[in-house]
Structure 1
């Protein structure tokens, strides 16, 4: 087993009633834990933590929204106020692409139609399609029941993506920066058969979900993260969970999301799925104030949310990993 040279356990002060476990590991530990999948997985962090505690006061939960040119709209769950679940507001002003008649033409320039379609597919997912021929290679923001991420249309103004549903009556709002957009809706009857957890953030914070199913250690077959996401087909037949990532990371200042899905109704195994949120300290995020939000489906179909503001350590900690143990609740699976 690769030897873990150092683990720094950080005790954080939180500004709300819940506690978030925060663990920082150095790059040697990270290599043993993430860098070589052929090596045996290390023991649980709590069993191997031997280093001194560091006093860190900059971690707090907040309901504040992101600031900047791309402030999140009020329909987003990132906003400070809680939206009325019975009211959906959609802003669609007249297209700025419309204009006066072209020289020599008696007819005005026609408006550019924007259409969106949503279709429920396997594993309580939704195939979402957008056709916006006047918006080629354009940033578009997808909103769904509190989840929000940004994508980019192709050269023809089209977008085709798969989104995990967070509501049986699933509505999707696709909005461009000028207020134009479209709405699509579908019914997802299979959603009751799945557990689902979301983490979303902005920019280069680099958050990621780690799901360890039924006692799996890091690097085992039951450990799902961005480098080992699992297969949707396994979630369909109840064999295991699957992790999906959403948003165009190449876009400027993107909104990104990760979603973990587990087939609770079809699983033949019973036990606990340990969920944690982690981020590596890199040159892109060291020293920043990182904001994130978790969304988790409860048994009655409601969404449980938590907001996080985290001061990422300075750049001398590059290569270390921050582990947030309680931003998501572990899943309890009854089995069949």
Structure 2
């Protein structure tokens, strides 16, 4: 069946009420990114509550943790002791099925955070009494779900969003831990976070310095990243966070661009796309963006109505949810 090539602007709902570019592309177009014809489908606005309201931030004694506001990020204290133990509220989401196990003689929950390359942080959580358990990681407004191993361990490499980075890891039974790291290299990077819940089909796409879809400078989850280019600061890179196998997981993608090391001049075009899948067709889907620029974080909440299931394989393309990066070469 042939399709007419046309693009139709449609509307989405943003909690902060900004204008947004929005198009619908066909599944055929997605295959070559999309070199074939596209059929336009209008998407109606949705009126729904903001993202992730069932996953409240934790109240941790001695730390102020809030979702990052539009005007900036609250300063977080530096701890003398990098490991703290905290209590968390019960999760509203169903816990994974876990076989009964005998209690471990060592039930202490602890966590460490070590600074890695590219302003990343290596998290290690140890919870011997909580094997195969859902745990939610919180950091400066970013949230994602992980699952401990059979030994109660969890490791994750997370992009820092604050120089004095605090990471809260919370279990649904009220146990948890906090780890802190000082990330001096954070000022060398701009970062954009997109986060959502469940099978919403969201993706970040960065097209660096005029790159088209599928070109070398097109950075997204389906692209092959080259480690040497990333290390040398020649390109941005994308990381994915969250355990897709967990029930109703919180998931996130983070695009990082090395503003200090890069010598190119121009624009990095940023867009958000959502594939229409059997898991989201005919539903309202929600996402939140966090944009780290010059030591401040700007957040936006997005709510969309996905077309019915006869549109499976198509993509919703949001061109103006994320602000493009203007890069002046060094």
TM beyond 0.5? yes
Q: Distance in 2 between matches of 1:93 and 1:206?
A: 29
**What is aligned with 2:301?**
307
Q: Tell me the alpha carbon deviations over residues 250-298 of structure 1, each in whole angstroms, 9 at most, x when there is no partner.
A: 1110000000011110001111000000011011110111010000111
Residues 1:319 and 2:313 are matched in the alignment: yes
Cα distance change of structure 1 residues 318 and 8 upon mapping to structure 2, 3 Å threshold: farther
Secondary structure in 2 matching 1:9: coil
From 46, 52, 61, the counterpart of 1:66: 52
Cα distance change of structure 1 residues 52 and 195 upon mapping to structure 2, 3 Å threshold: closer
Map 1:242-253 → 2, pairs under 5 A? 242-253=237-248
From 269, 272, 282, the counterpart of 2:264: 269
Q: Which has the higher contact order (CA 8 A, sep 6+)?
A: 2
Structure 2, unmatched stretches of 5+, are 59-64, 78-83, 90-103
Cα distance change of structure 1 residues 243 and 274 upon mapping to structure 2, 3 Å threshold: same
From 87, 108, 121, the counterpart of 1:113: 108
Q: Tell me the alpha carbon deviations over residues 168-189 of structure 1, each in whole angstroms, 9 at most, x when there is no partner.
A: 0000000000110000000000
Cα distance change of structure 1 residues 78 and 315 upon mapping to structure 2, 3 Å threshold: farther
Deviates more, 1:3-12 or 1:143-152: 3-12
**What is aligned with 1:32?**
32
Question: How large is the RMSD of aligned CA atoms in angstroms?
Answer: 3.1
CA contact 2:50–2:286 (8 Å) conserved in 1: no
TM-score (norm 2): 0.83
Q: Distance in 2 between matches of 1:81 and 1:215?
A: 29
**What is aligned with 2:329?**
335
Secondary structure in 2 matching 1:12: coil
Q: Distance in 1 between matches of 2:209 and 2:4?
A: 27
Q: Tell me the alpha carbon deviations over residues 104-138 of structure 1, each in whole angstroms, 9 at most, x when there is no partner.
A: xxxxx966101100011100000000111111111
Structure 1, unmatched stretches of 5+, are 35-40, 43-47, 95-108
Map 1:210-229 → 2, pairs under 5 A? 210-228=205-223
**What is aligned with 2:10?**
11
CA contact 1:212–1:223 (8 Å) conserved in 2: yes
Q: CA deviation at 1:5?
A: 4.7
Secondary structure in 1 matching 2:33: helix
**What is aligned with 1:37?**
none
Q: Distance in 2 between matches of 1:254 and 1:66?
A: 11
CA contact 2:85–2:110 (8 Å) conserved in 1: no
TM-score (norm 1): 0.81
Work out the number of aligned pairs and report it.
Answer: 303
Secondary structure in 2 matching 1:31: helix
Cα distance change of structure 1 residues 218 and 4 upon mapping to structure 2, 3 Å threshold: farther
Q: Tell me the alpha carbon deviations over residues 43-95 of structure 1, each in whole angstroms, 9 at most, x when there is no partner.
A: xxxxx98x7784x43246x772435xxx111358679999993579985179x
Q: Distance in 1 between matches of 2:30 and 2:313?
A: 7
Map 1:1-336 → 2, pairs under 5 A? 5-12=4-11, 14=13, 16-33=16-33, 54=42, 56-59=43-46, 64-66=50-52, 71-75=54-58, 85=74, 91-92=86-87, 112-228=107-223, 230-299=225-294, 301-336=295-330
Secondary structure in 1 matching 2:10: strand
